[in-house]
Chains A and B, each alone.
Chain A
């Protein structure tokens, strides 16, 4: 059983550059979530997809952030004009979408460092 995969695992970039992360969910999972985790904190919800539709975005997701899931399979998260405050672990999760109580499975995360 292949779990959620994320690429790259680590990204170091300079302030002002654009970065893009990819998430491949467990196959046939309808829901895909993005979270951000800063040092010493729990993950915080960023956005959520049901198939290809982006249904909710957190206030944490500024205009510099954009997420897509074009064919309802993999998803990308892009950050434009990165800032040092964007340094964090970006986590992706997926779930079957079978009601209120199904389980989210998390990927290993992409650690972003903005210099």
Chain B
């Protein structure tokens, strides 16, 4: 079974400073990895995904993540935090392989707080 571990349940950064949200994964296969963001009272939105192409993945709103197989990590970063980035972030792994089923396995989430 595949799993992800989000190493921080809560991260606080000042506006304009870098953001680092950490994620480690466990997988028996070559995984697909995702970061989703959940703003209050809004649906989950895909930030970015890794699917065995380039190891550095760029997403929306200036976020990016680097797949490091040797460290089994997929950390999410952003050079400069904005107030609108305050949300819950989920690291996600797809349950591969199977019969085309992309059952997603979510981490427990990291709440990002931006300090003005």
- A residues sitting closer than 8 Å to B (CB atoms) are 3-4, 31, 33, 35, 40-45, 48, 50, 55-56, 91, 93, 95, 97, 99-109
Contact of A91 among B44, B46, B92, B99 (CB under 8 A): B44
Docked-complex contact B97 and A100, CB < 8 angstroms: yes
B102 to chain A, nearest CB (A): 6
B96 — which chain A residues lie within 8 A by C-beta?
100
B99 nearest in chain A by CB position? A55
Docked-complex contact A44 and B106, CB < 8 angstroms: yes
Docked-complex contact B106 and A42, CB < 8 angstroms: yes
Per the bound structure, the CA–CA distance linking A35 and B102 in Å amounts to 13
A100 — which chain B residues lie within 8 A by C-beta?
32, 51, 94, 96-97, 100, 102
Q: A108-B41, A109-B43 are in contact. List 16 more A-B contacts (CB 8 A).
A: A3-B43, A31-B102, A35-B104, A40-B109, A42-B90, A42-B109, A43-B106, A44-B106, A55-B99, A56-B101, A99-B100, A100-B32, A100-B97, A101-B102, A104-B46, A108-B42
A-B Cβ contacts below 8 A, count? 65
Per the bound structure, the CA–CA distance linking A48 and B99 in Å amounts to 12
B60 to chain A, nearest CB (A): 12
23 A-B residue pairs with CB within 8 Å: A33-B103, A40-B108, A41-B109, A42-B90, A42-B108, A43-B90, A44-B106, A45-B104, A48-B101, A55-B99, A97-B100, A99-B100, A100-B32, A100-B51, A100-B96, A101-B51, A101-B102, A104-B104, A106-B43, A106-B44, A106-B45, A108-B43, A109-B43
Contact of B105 among A3, A45, A55 (CB under 8 A): A45
The number of residues on chain B lying at the interface, defined by a beta carbon within 8 Å of a beta carbon of chain A, is 26
Per the bound structure, the CA–CA distance linking A3 and B102 in Å amounts to 19
B97 to chain A, nearest CB (A): 7
**Interface residues in B24-70 (C-beta closer than 8 Å to A):** 32, 36, 41-46, 49, 51
Per the bound structure, the CA–CA distance linking A109 and B42 in Å amounts to 8
A107 nearest in chain B by CB position? B43
